[in-house]
Structure 1
């Protein structure tokens, strides 16, 4: 029996590459995103496309119901949908902050709620939450994005403890630098929100580092390969990371006191 996987944020980047790889490996893949037209290329590969906005409860309920009615099971959920709302805490509106949390945290949590009953009934399942090294470290102007990813790390830990008794694994993937649309969207938000006024000098320094980082960023295939490995593994670890600087940054965060880490980070923005 083919394993059934639901992937959110599958219209580009890591989500789309994961969908392609899993289809090649024989999984039944439901690719979900708002931009359905950007997933048409998955259909010839056997992909099943769902229009799903993770801030729309009805869309999530209908999507999960459709999968269960068609397949009778859901073996894995890859919570990949998300974006980065960047700007100084002083500048970011509360409406924008709430939307960041709605997409990255509450949408993920609600979709997970919807698949858990089926997985409990099966006594098996795997929930893979895509966070970021930004769920362990913080950079200037990313406060709300980092808050959302820190929250998903905590949610994942709690769910792992709760769901172990039902044979459901909860795994966190923490990408480092990866070539996706994420960086461009985050920097556009930063420029619009805090690119003028008192924060402009630091914003300009961050913007100046971006071309070099983007050049060294890993291809999204790296994360797709990691997710495929997690799905194949009988007893997966609780956390995995991959991508540019992921290992280095996470190691430094463990070893350095806060002020030393702050100084190391700011030194890269000179």
Structure 2
């Protein structure tokens, strides 16, 4: 029996790579993104694509209904869509902060609620939520982004306890620094959120420089394989990391929060 995966945010980066990787490994893949012009190569590869906005219930319902009507089941949901609303907490408009939660957390909840009844009827399902090491570690200028990812971690853990008895599991993938458009978008947003003559401009320069040096060698294709493992492991783990380094950083920040904060403070001093 062919398995079916729904993946959000497939126009670029990890989502794009995951759509291709799941398809290459025998899944019928349904997915979408706001930038439909960037989905053509996925469509040509045999992936079912459509315009998708995780803040729009109608487009989410359309995606789920299409997958069920055509395939009769949904085995995997990859909640990948998200972005970084960076900037000083003092200067980010509350409307932007609300949008950050609407996309990164509430959008996950919206589509998951549509998929859960299908998975419960079939007695099986895997929900893979793409968080970040930023759910446990942090730096200046990313407060609202980190808050959404920390919230997603707790949301996923709570959901897992609620749905496990139905044969459904909810797990977290925590990517670290990855070669993608993510950091550019995050710091473009940070620039927009800086007020004129902002007292945080020197901090912005330090943090942007720090992040640029931490880009690493991890590719979206590397993360696509982690997504796949999280979606197909017979005995799923609570958390999935791409590298030992990512896992170690999270463990350090959680175990020694004071030491972690002290190190970050010295770096940006």
TM-score over 0.5 for the pair: yes
* 1:214-264 deviation digits (Å, cap 9, x = unpaired): 2x24111111011112233111101111259412311211331x3321111
Shift of 1:200: 1.2
Aligned to 2:213: 212
Aligned to 2:157: 157
Contact 1:178 1:243 in 2 (8 A): no
1:237 aligns with 2:228: no
C-alpha separation in 2, matches of 1:58 and 1:231: 26
C-alpha separation in 2, matches of 1:188 and 1:251: 30
C-alpha separation in 2, matches of 1:132 and 1:210: 15
Paired residues, number: 268
Contact 1:153 1:172 in 2 (8 A): yes
Aligned to 1:29: 29
* 1:13-68 deviation digits (Å, cap 9, x = unpaired): 00010111111111100121111111111122211102110011111111111111
C-alpha separation in 2, matches of 1:160 and 1:211: 35
Aligned to 1:268: 267
Shift of 1:122: 0.3
**The residue matched to 1:50 in structure 2 has which SS?**
strand
With normalisation by structure 2, the TM-score equals 0.95
* 1:95-139 deviation digits (Å, cap 9, x = unpaired): 101100000011110100000000000000000000000111221
Shift of 1:191: 1.8
Aligned to 1:246: 246
**The residue matched to 1:172 in structure 2 has which SS?**
strand
Aligned to 1:167: 167
C-alpha separation in 2, matches of 1:211 and 1:145: 18
Runs of at least 5 residues in structure 1 that lack an aligned partner in the other structure = none
Aligned to 1:177: 177
Label 1:244 to 1:199 Cα distance change in 2 as closer, same or farther (>3 A). Answer: farther
**The residue matched to 2:39 in structure 1 has which SS?**
helix
C-alpha separation in 2, matches of 1:110 and 1:119: 15
Contact 2:93 2:193 in 1 (8 A): no
Contact 2:173 2:230 in 1 (8 A): no
**The residue matched to 1:209 in structure 2 has which SS?**
helix
**The residue matched to 1:177 in structure 2 has which SS?**
coil
Contact 2:60 2:111 in 1 (8 A): yes
Q: How does 1:1-270 map to 2 (within 5 A)?
A: 1-194=1-194, 196-214=197-215, 216-242=216-242, 245-256=245-256, 258-270=257-269
C-alpha separation in 2, matches of 1:58 and 1:90: 34
- Mean Cα displacement is larger for which, 205-214 or 29-38? 205-214
Runs of at least 5 residues in structure 2 that lack an aligned partner in the other structure = none
- Mean Cα displacement is larger for which, 3-12 or 230-239? 230-239
**The residue matched to 2:49 in structure 1 has which SS?**
strand
C-alpha separation in 2, matches of 1:230 and 1:12: 20
